[in-house]
Structure 1
Amino acid sequence: MFLRSTFYAFVAMTLFTANSVSAHANNPHEAIGDDLAEQLASQLSHDNHSHYGSYIGVTRWVLAETLEQPQAGDSLNELSHQLSESIYAHLKERNLSLVEFRAQSYISVAEEGATLLSRDVDELEQHPEIDWVLVGTLSRKDAGTMVNLRIVDRRNQEVLAAANRYVPKHLYWPNKQTELVNGRLQRN
């Protein structure tokens, strides 16, 4: 009886561990987000910047050259969106306190479904309790993009942590022949 229950416990632990590890390994964006979050969290904990009690807001990442969001049709538009959204989970796994400043104070119920997040400025908290902001820039480099992140203290604009990662284009724009870059069609 004891051996059987030990065996079942071992099998359950093995299956649980295998599923959680493979969940991060299947998507290259997850690996990139995980690397960037690890760099940021490591710097915050090693550079005497206690992050306990400090709330972080995450912004959408912009083009380094213009500080504007990539246009629809630009390969960096999807990359910016995917990584800036997925980094929430990776930072939370490292016990950083995150603020979702796009959250309304109520749930909107419509025929299409119920939502809490909004981009309507009139529906959002005008002065969210955010101490630090995660900002990011994207720069085209060779056959890919350099992603640069910084956590900035809102009170004095001090950069508390920084991370960067080169992302090969085939990871975020696979099998695409053309894209819109700076308003012009570009072939790959």
Structure 2
Amino acid sequence: MRKLPVLLILVGLGLIGWVGYDYTTSGEEIARFELAGEAGSTDLISLEPSLNSMRALLSVTYEIELLAGSATAFDYSIMMTGPGSLTVFTAEGQQRDKRDDNTPEYATKTSEQVIKTFAVPAPGEYLLDWRIVPDKARITSRSISLRRNVEPLRIPYLIAGVACFGLGVLLLIRKRRKSI
């Protein structure tokens, strides 16, 4: 019984990690665009509905000085358009980094984010317009990749992982309170 909370926490973390890894790596990469500058457009890419479901991922490597509190490393805005200027998706967001103490720390980090899971509505040539603006960071590289035939987020496994982790933490806290 003493090992049950630790086992539940490890199972929960394992399930959560597996679901996240599977979500970002499922399917097959069909295109990767290395991006230069703060804004631009990618080359045209030929897509068709047989590639559905698709997922776009953003990878940014940057250097940042972390101070106490939260700092915005960069902001991004990405839009995919298709035949006839059809907007397939738009995505906006920002990468924030946090440090709890006051000691400055210079760090090199890589942010890999799922931008959007989407469906190709019709065969044709598609284009990604992007804007990635550094705030407190110096961006060293950035890329967008497209993956085809991806799996959806496995929500039942994610819920099971969160439940195992939460139950393990609760049992651990309860056990510690009883021993005091």
TM-score (norm 2): 0.32
TM-score (norm 1): 0.31
More strand as a share of residues:
2
More relative contact order, 1 or 2 (CA 8 Å, 6+ apart): 2
